[in-house]
Amino acid sequence: VVAAAELRDDDRVAFIAGIGAPGVLVEKLPRVDEAVTALHILEAHLGSRFTHLCPAEAGGLNALTPIGPAAATGLPIVDADGMGRAFPSLELVTPTLDGGVCTPMGFADEHGNTMLIDTPTNLWAEDFARAATVASGGIAMLALYPMTGRQAKDWLVHGALSLAQRLGQAVRRGSSTGELPLDEIFAETGGHRLFHGTVVDVDRRNERGWTMGTVVVSGTGRHGGQSMEIDFQNENLVARVDDSIVATTPDLIMVLGLDTAEPIPAEDVRYGQRVTVVGLPCDPQWRTPAGLALTGPRRFGYDVDFRPIEA
Amino acid sequence: VVAAAELRDDDRVAFIAGIGAPGVLVEKLPRVDEAVTALHILEAHLGSRFTHLCPAEAGGLNALTPIGPAAATGLPIVDADGMGRAFPSLELVTPTLDGGVCTPMGFADEHGNTMLIDTPTNLWAEDFARAATVASGGIAMLALYPMTGRQAKDWLVHGALSLAQRLGQAVRRGSSTGELPLDEIFAETGGHRLFHGTVVDVDRRNERGWTMGTVVVSGTGRHGGQSMEIDFQNENLVARVDDSIVATTPDLIMVLGLDTAEPIPAEDVRYGQRVTVVGLPCDPQWRTPAGLALTGPRRFGYDVDFRPIEA
């Protein structure tokens, strides 16, 4: 793992990421082979080799997706990502804000199908990769956003893997005592607690290549008598308490389990879980007008303005 | 236009075809550019140039699709096709019966999106190209089934373009007198009349990348009191008279207009048209067990055996 600041300007970096519905991943485990195939297809098309692999997003499984391919190819991983969180769509990365181009993109699935996709916009890249993923059965592997080392340094959110490691260490220490290490998480991230209670309803479906739905949490303690609804599209998008919005994308909305002292992704939320919902401020790039145009609540169909979670 | 028999064994032949719903083509006219782009993507991937282009199917617009790209590239067209008719799915070609491989395939659309698709089966190639076509808006252009001249000679249905030209000349002579040249058509093709009457209902929708539906024809003359239903998926698949099947794929079911003395494709059938429905025997390759397994009525979800149209 290499710090982004250590990249040389002429290094060659690509994101390695899975695409699809996390709810399908519960049944179909991803393999390293497909990601390596996607990488090789992209390299063959470009006629050059990459020097570094990088996670596209810091959240969910994709924070870890490059590790297997890095081991298989011997390439180092950059301690960075393109979101500082996770988003459910390929164009929602910081390189898009700076003119970075998603394609050419390598695609490979478990059946041996491969594609080299080239599109004039990053949103078209998302549309084609998503359609292919649905045709493929819900999950596929991608190599995308070919960048120089200079571009990666300038565009990406630095330190994603080391932050994840520090948070993970705190969570692991907490797991041993059965306590969520909220103070340590908030000290690292600037977040705060939004709600706590018990999951009383989950509406979840794998639809058009995503895991979509809503979680309802019935408040306990000082939230007694209140109810929180969280809408998700792979990732949590908007949290409402009694129909009043308390947090929206691009800020992070995380559901943490009180029984396991671990985070619970949208595909694993279950009836009866006792949870604390926390909000973390997103990377500053997302709070610019261009960042909010790309990832704010209106991008996902919510007719509300973004309000920072700490406001 | 070159006869298939004149190909040299080491010539390089590819199908050029549009994919999508003909009902969308009514609004989106295909351009030569996309087909040439699809061809160049395939050539760049293979690292070699083609010597001849060829229609994938003899029916519908795709009989003519290679003509523009042939003019633009200066390449000759082979007087042959891969169906001896039209089918609504990429794997339903005579090369599939003989081990021919659909991919690598070049894909290009009107928006500037391109893909190079490689799949382990011809059915997967169909699934991915169809998904991409839907993502693209319903129509795209393909270069596919790269073949040697030897393979093209052995696999394809010879004489598709010259047969189409002879039938077209007969139709044109008929149009000038307002008469359908049924005797000439039947002498060329071995077909016969199945039904005639007036179109009284059309159920048609553009769905999952195809134009799907059913036409109902109310019989006149000696068919008075009878009713024919024709199901189509881009092409006509099955014809029933009073719920008894009288013709099925892979034999050809054609609707000819008595007012215009011209054939009416599924996307143009309209209420009130006076029509004659004719059946033509398919190419003998389709009547083998392997041919019927690939293109018989069960392939399209009809639980009936194929019965030759002349039986």
Give the whole-number percent of chain A exceeding pLDDT 70. Answer: 99
pLDDT score of B230 more than 80? yes
- Answer yes or no: do B119 and A113 touch at CB < 8 A: yes
Between A111, A120, A134, which is nearest B131 by CB?
A: A134
What contacts A154, CB < 8 A, 6 or more positions away?
Answer: A98
- Answer yes or no: do B132 and A130 touch at CB < 8 A: no
pLDDT digits (tens, 9 = 90+) for A25-59: 767 677 899 999 999 999 999 999 999 999 999 98
- Answer yes or no: do A113 and B111 touch at CB < 8 A: no
Q: What 3-state class would DSSP assign to B70?
A: helix
Angle, alpha carbons B256-B259-B260 (nearest 5°): 70
What contacts A44, CB < 8 A, 6 or more positions away?
Answer: none
- Residue of A37, A116, A208 to mutate, testing the B interface (most B Cβ within 10 Å of its Cβ): A116
The mean per-residue pLDDT over the stretch B2-6 comes to 97
Distance CA A111, CA A142 (A): 14
Residue type, position B245, single letter: I
The mean per-residue pLDDT over the stretch B240-263 comes to 92
Distance CA B103, CA B117 (A): 7
Q: Which carries the bigger pLDDT value, residue A253 or residue A27?
A: A253
Residues linked to residue A241 through DSSP beta bridges, in sequence order: A228, A244
This prediction's pTM:
0.90
Distance CA A84, CA A80 (A): 8
Task: Using the CB atoms, write b or e for B234-245: b if 16+ within 10 Å.
Answer: bbbbbbbbeeeb
Of B26, B20, B17, B59, the residue nearest B268 (C-alpha): B26
Residues in chain A whose beta carbon is closer than 8 A to a beta carbon of chain B? 45, 111-120, 124, 127-128, 130-132, 134-136
pLDDT score of B118 more than 90? yes
Helix (H) or strand (E) holding A38: helix A32-46
What residues of chain A lie within 8 A of the CB of B131, using their CB? 131-132, 134-135
| φ, ψ (nearest 5 deg) of residue A4 | -60, -35
pLDDT digits (tens, 9 = 90+) for A196-218: 999 999 999 988 888 999 999 99
Give the whole-number percent of chain B exceeding pLDDT 70. Answer: 99
pLDDT score of B28 more than 80? no
What residues of chain B lie within 8 A of the CB of A45, using their CB? 116
Q: Is the dihedral of CA B36, B134, A133, B18 positive or negative?
A: negative
Is residue A224 left, alpha or beta, with left meaning phi > 0 and alpha meaning psi from -120 to 50? beta
Q: DSSP characters for B219-236?
A: E-GGGTT-EEEEEEESEE
Can you give the pLDDT at residue A26? 66
- Answer yes or no: do A120 and B111 touch at CB < 8 A: yes
What contacts B289, CB < 8 A, 6 or more positions away?
Answer: none
Residue type, position B105, single letter: M
Of A278, A251, A267, the residue nearest A85 (C-alpha): A251
Distance CA A81, CA A252 (A): 15
Q: Is the dihedral of CA A43, A47, A53, A55 positive or negative?
A: negative
Q: From residue B198, how far is each of B66, B202, B214, B221, B241 by CA, in Å?
A: 35, 11, 14, 11, 14
The mean per-residue pLDDT over the stretch B8-24 comes to 91
In 10 A of CB B74, how many CB atoms?
Answer: 6
pLDDT digits (tens, 9 = 90+) for A263-293: 899 999 999 999 999 999 999 999 999 999 9
- Answer yes or no: do B118 and A114 touch at CB < 8 A: yes
Calculate the CA B53 to chain-centre distance: 16
In 10 A of CB A243, how many CB atoms?
Answer: 7
Alpha-carbon radius of gyration of chain A: 19
Rounded to the nearest angstrom, the minimum Cα separation between B161 and chain A is: 33
Residues in chain B whose beta carbon is closer than 8 A to a beta carbon of chain A? 45, 111-120, 124, 127-128, 130-132, 134-136
- Greatest CA separation found in chain A? 61
Which chain B residue has its CA at the smallest distance from A115's CA? Answer: B117
ipTM > 0.90 (yes/no): no
